[in-house]
Structure 1
């Protein structure tokens, strides 16, 4: 019933969106008048929704993935692209809200709700992966084919716009959309302005460089070097881009093959945990005592959390998409708001934060800068505090719930610990139920009594059972059983060593934000290496044109930059005030050695040499970086594959250990103790 209602809700929302799109297209076709005011209001709403969504980390991640899909399938200007992305986001959020509303109305239980929400997350992730990754995988080879045709037709006509037009017919459907937009840019009244608009929505860096090079040749003309028999600067540029493109295609292909089928393996514990538990309880009813105990509860939570975590780890390992520039000026910094708004928060943060001008403060500040994260040291400390407090609350609440569940299991569990295999008959079940009720009644009396002795308890049990002799084996057996349950109930409280374990876990959680910043720093370093290699490719092409100066070269680098974009923008703004001072400040802002070497050559181009002379040996540098990157790709595939394999197998191993092996050992030990007590 629940699945049917949710499916109906999803279909209803999808049908409504499809109907709106159909009516919109129908009006365009038959020329019906449009409601301009309504459309204008909707456009404003979508633009505001886009900006608001980009300010939150969770919605911004979804926003970027949807944008990636939309800009690959079609070409828009930035305004239209944001509107289309916002429309898609509104549809996704509407479906999610309908599902949540259905869950609130039907109230199927926490377990079923958990399964539905997990399934929704995985289904959404798989759908986005299917659309985006599949299209990216098809787009790169189509770009390569387009470059091959472009080079062939350009060699025949020596006219870039004609070569572009002829190449469109030989490209695939995904690349044809992009090639048509590039051709429209070439044939427009103002190609440079249209090129800047296209760079805002281009799906990847290769298309940005290709379109920029084509516009440059269209505006400035090609440069032929007959003396050294190097041929056309445009064709050499296309060859350089093709080499880099080949490396990227091979890297993605090998990595995808190495990581195939690994992500679904992490879902096995989530899918089969409950069926395995039900089968084990059916064969060994006593196992229910373990699964209902505190250890069983915490083990199940760990299995689900660990499996979901490993799934997203593998998804992250498989992600090799281009890094896109995101301005961070409009992001909502909740740490900043809490820190500045509440004085008590500032006082608490001051206690845990390192003092200013200390070594610890300087290290954290440098880490934040290297990770390119918009944080202050105090905000980072606040983030650590909030994460630690939330973890502390969750762990303490979970431990209290586990103790309560363990106590309830001892009082109300009907199947005795001596029943190891097979199901019980109705008569046996009724007998066990009476025994459980009797034990619970006796435990209640023991809890209410101020003091008691073993002889007194056995006498009470004998009286309740209608047995005259206290030494009767049945009385002794009932006494042992009741005292075992009583001990479990009395020990179901929060212990000091449990608090110590929780504090140790919280202590480890405290360092997670710093660890994530360190990982982000390492990832950013690799992004910087890739970007410097891209800069070398761009410079090797632009240096052939005599009209290219230092400022023009900086503008080109800024257009295709992501990691170094903000320092380059700052350098361009300060260039007119003093070129050497601006470049010196750029070198100080970025401590990456490979980029500083480019800046040093730019300094020479201002005072002593031309751009072509300063970068005369850049081809050797570029070839070195190509070989270095090829070696890195080989090591990266091996490392990612090994780590992903370990991440995919570990949830299954965790399921077998915590959900099968540990319960068997636990129950076997308990049953052995019962047998020894019987003797």
Structure 2
């Protein structure tokens, strides 16, 4: 990058900081009264300075929520923060604005730099800007995941304090209330919510509501165990409180989960950025190659270079999506999408849209319908069947249109290349001096006159071009041989220009790409389902811990255990849900059907133990091996997590580094080697011909 460009970037950055400072000042002085009163109510009497960060973030939230493009991200962000903050509007707005501001501070300079670096290539500029928009998701989800991890760490201390408070009060609700009042942390708000549930008039209903919004499974387990202990009472097992033993089990599960997340974050810490980094390096790499190896200039600025560039961008996009799916496939991840009334639902409510979608939607009861339905369950996707097909149709249409525009753009690139590149017969291995380049550009401008004259005339011959050259002022002193050579050169250019139009096979290719786009949604779901199968062992071990906590509680039966497993399941959720629904019609038959629906042996053994418990064998006897081999299962769980992380890390690195490898090999090494060898061979041939 030249010094002039650096000065421009620095000047724009300084100007941007000044503008932000002025905006902050104006907002603090001229904020609308109604908005300021609303903020004061949300603060609940807290008095802060007008220029405090708290108030600034509240005002920024109001601005972000009105800005069309940013509004989508701020709403998506607050949906997840609402869960962490238990609907505390003030804190949710503050955290949303804080995270969004940090993302914009990183993104805005990057966008400015991209525009400056790619101002001569509008297609690349557009694609780079689109990929930088994806970075907002990376920054936002990274920030929210960090808060989620902090909450998990706080829960360790929270449960430790619960132990001491329970020894003091010997009452579950009082212990939770006391600990929640002593802390100002995020977990204290969760504790207050659980306390309100336990003392409510209808705790079962309130508990079910909390299960839907709890930030993680461990708080669900704690709330459920606290309710069962309050309702059925505590008991001593081996001289210790069963309730506190179960709290210890949850704590140990959280410690395992924290270690798993830390290792997973370490493995994937930069893969999302690495997967999209090639799109930022394409233009600098091209500039470096052209400046150091002049013989590749024709390739990089021609049609072939653009095709490879587009292929790398497509590979980068696919890799980015797969890496995100691979990392965010954990059972405790929260989906921030609007699943109540998304744009797909609005399309399907439209009469015309519904008729079009129904043409593609498989009929209920057919093999295809069952196949897609099972795939959605296996992938734990929140999408409905009709939403999936709306996505598939839209992706196919967009892919077809984008393919047509891409082919048209490639034709235009080839035409522009003939009109703009220097015309010369110099040796490709040697560069051109400034004088030679100026002379070559003058020759190109002369050729362009005749290209415009004969463009579109498909029956033009070299004789027609020679006639035009003979009466031209540029060739009035030229020999017949020079005119023939020039006519041949212009004719070759004309053939390229006249042949660059949309062809029938390109429309067929666009249709083929549209079919690939139509299948992309299914392939992503299949990939997601495959990745979820890697976590099957981990989920079964979670089930074993849940059963271990429930098996010694009074009045707990197999049906209650199934309801708990359904609540915390992801991979086996559909099968367990079917079993719970059929349980009242026949417990043994429902469990037998569940056993037939699954093929994973450790899960089958759990179902067989539940069948034994249905036959009047006490639950604690049916699952006695879980208690006797508890340490073994815990160590096995840790080892299983390590294997899972290594396997995911290996797959993630292959996918994440694929675009970078393709860029260096396909966009740099192969062109340099192939074109260099071709040019060298041509040079030696010319030298041999000259010698003879």
**Shorter-chain TM-score above 0.5:** yes
**8 Å Cα contact 2:469-2:483 kept in structure 1:** yes
2:250 corresponds, among 241, 255, 264, to 241
Once residues 371 and 397 of structure 2 are traced to their aligned partners in structure 1, the CA distance between those partners, rounded to angstroms, is 24
Once residues 16 and 600 of structure 1 are traced to their aligned partners in structure 2, the CA distance between those partners, rounded to angstroms, is 69
Distance change (3 Å), C-alpha of 1:407 and 1:603: same
Distance change (3 Å), C-alpha of 1:152 and 1:466: same
1:26 corresponds, among 35, 40, 51, to 40
Distance change (3 Å), C-alpha of 1:656 and 1:14: farther
Match of 1:148 in 2: 160
Once residues 338 and 316 of structure 1 are traced to their aligned partners in structure 2, the CA distance between those partners, rounded to angstroms, is 29
Post-superposition Cα deviations, 1:370-407, rounded to whole Å, max 9, x if no partner, equal 44558898986776555444323322321122012201
The yes-or-no answer on 1:486 pairing with 2:497 is no
**8 Å Cα contact 1:70-1:81 kept in structure 2:** no
1:408 corresponds, among 396, 413, 416, to 416
Distance apart, 1:247 and its partner CA: 1.9
Once residues 243 and 160 of structure 1 are traced to their aligned partners in structure 2, the CA distance between those partners, rounded to angstroms, is 20
Out of 109-118 and 394-403, give the one that drifted further.
Answer: 109-118
Match of 2:135 in 1: 122
The yes-or-no answer on 1:71 pairing with 2:83 is yes
Distance apart, 1:209 and its partner CA: 1.1
Match of 2:529 in 1: 521
Distance apart, 1:612 and its partner CA: 3.6
Once residues 161 and 456 of structure 1 are traced to their aligned partners in structure 2, the CA distance between those partners, rounded to angstroms, is 98
**8 Å Cα contact 1:76-1:201 kept in structure 2:** no
Once residues 450 and 110 of structure 1 are traced to their aligned partners in structure 2, the CA distance between those partners, rounded to angstroms, is 30
**8 Å Cα contact 1:269-1:307 kept in structure 2:** yes
Distance apart, 1:322 and its partner CA: 0.5
1:138 corresponds, among 134, 150, 171, to 150
Match of 2:587 in 1: 580
Post-superposition Cα deviations, 1:621-647, rounded to whole Å, max 9, x if no partner, equal 866654553333222222222233333
Post-superposition Cα deviations, 1:582-613, rounded to whole Å, max 9, x if no partner, equal 94597389546555655555555455234444
Gaps of 5+ in 2: 1-10, 48-61
2:332 corresponds, among 302, 312, 322, to 322
Distance change (3 Å), C-alpha of 1:541 and 1:330: same
Once residues 599 and 613 of structure 2 are traced to their aligned partners in structure 1, the CA distance between those partners, rounded to angstroms, is 20
Distance apart, 1:509 and its partner CA: 4.3
Once residues 355 and 155 of structure 2 are traced to their aligned partners in structure 1, the CA distance between those partners, rounded to angstroms, is 57
Post-superposition Cα deviations, 1:305-325, rounded to whole Å, max 9, x if no partner, equal 433443444344333461458
Distance change (3 Å), C-alpha of 1:596 and 1:122: same
Distance change (3 Å), C-alpha of 1:418 and 1:649: farther
2:259 corresponds, among 250, 253, 267, to 250
Once residues 338 and 587 of structure 2 are traced to their aligned partners in structure 1, the CA distance between those partners, rounded to angstroms, is 27
Once residues 252 and 358 of structure 2 are traced to their aligned partners in structure 1, the CA distance between those partners, rounded to angstroms, is 56
Q: Where in structure 2 are the equivalents of 1:25-174 lying within 5 Å?
A: 25-26=39-40, 28-29=44-45, 66-72=78-84, 74-76=85-87, 112=125, 115-129=128-142, 131-155=143-167, 158-161=170-173, 163-164=175-176, 173-174=185-186
Match of 1:178 in 2: 190
Query: TM-score, normalised to structure 2's length?
Result: 0.73
Q: Where in structure 2 are the equivalents of 1:469-484 lying within 5 Å?
A: 469-471=479-481, 474-475=482-483, 477-484=485-492
Aligned length: 636
Q: Where in structure 2 are the equivalents of 1:237-636 lying within 5 Å?
A: 237-283=246-292, 287-319=296-328, 320=330, 322-324=332-334, 333=344, 337=348, 341=352, 345=356, 349=360, 363=371, 366-368=374-376, 370-371=378-379, 384=392, 387-414=395-422, 416=424, 418=426, 424-425=433-434, 428=436, 430-447=438-455, 454=462, 457=465, 461=469, 464=472, 465-467=475-477, 469-471=479-481, 474-475=482-483, 477-494=485-502, 505-506=513-514, 508-525=516-533, 530-561=538-569, 578=585, 580=587, 583=590, 587=594, 591=598, 598=606, 601-602=609-610, 604-606=612-614, 608-619=616-627, 626-636=634-644
Q: Quote the RMSD (CA, aligned, Å).
A: 5.2
Gaps of 5+ in 1: 32-45
Once residues 369 and 197 of structure 2 are traced to their aligned partners in structure 1, the CA distance between those partners, rounded to angstroms, is 50
Distance apart, 1:274 and its partner CA: 1.9
**8 Å Cα contact 2:551-2:619 kept in structure 1:** yes
Match of 1:34 in 2: none
Partner secondary structure for residue 426 of structure 2:
coil
Out of 265-274 and 502-511, give the one that drifted further.
Answer: 502-511
Distance apart, 1:205 and its partner CA: 0.8
**8 Å Cα contact 1:418-1:671 kept in structure 2:** no
